[in-house]
Amino acid sequence: MVNVTLKVNGETRSASVPPETTLLRLLRDQFNLTGAKLGCDVGDCGACTVIVDSKPVNSCLMLVGQVEGREVLTIEGLANADHLHPLQKLFEHFGSLQCGFCGPGVIISAKALLDENPDPSTEEIRDALGGNLCRCTGYTKMIEAIKGASCILRGEEVPAVKSA
Please report, as ranges, the residues that interact with ligand FES according to CB under 6 A: 38-41, 43-48, 58, 60, 97-102, 134-137
Q: How many residues does the structure list for the chain?
A: 164
Distance between CA atoms of residues 120 and 125, nearest Å:
6
Residue 146: phi and psi, rounded to 5, are: -70, -40
Residue type, 136: C
Tell me the three state secondary structure of residue 98: coil
Q: Minimum distance from CB of 155 to ligand FES (Å)?
A: 29
Q: Minimum Å distance from CB 57 to ligand FES?
A: 9
Closer CB to ligand FES, 126 or 154, in the complex: 126
Residue among 108 and 113 whose Cβ is closer to ligand FES: 108
Shortest CB 97 distance to ligand FES, Å: 4
Give the residue with the Cβ less far from ligand FES, 58 or 150.
58
Nearer to ligand FES (CB atom), residue 29 or residue 41:
41
Q: Between residues 5 and 98, which has the closer beta carbon with respect to ligand FES?
A: 98
Closest approach of ligand FES to the CB of residue 37, in Å: 7
> Who contacts 135 (Cβ-Cβ below 8 Å, separation ≥6)?
99, 102
Shortest distance (Å) from residue 117 CB to ligand FES: 23
- Looking at 9-112, which runs of residues are DSSP E strands? 11-17, 49-52, 55-58, 71-73
Inter-residue contact 150 to 118 (CB < 8 Å) = yes
Region for 137 from its dihedrals, namely left if φ exceeds 0, alpha if ψ lies in -120 to 50, beta otherwise: beta
User: Residues 36, 75: contact at Cβ < 8 Å?
Assistant: yes
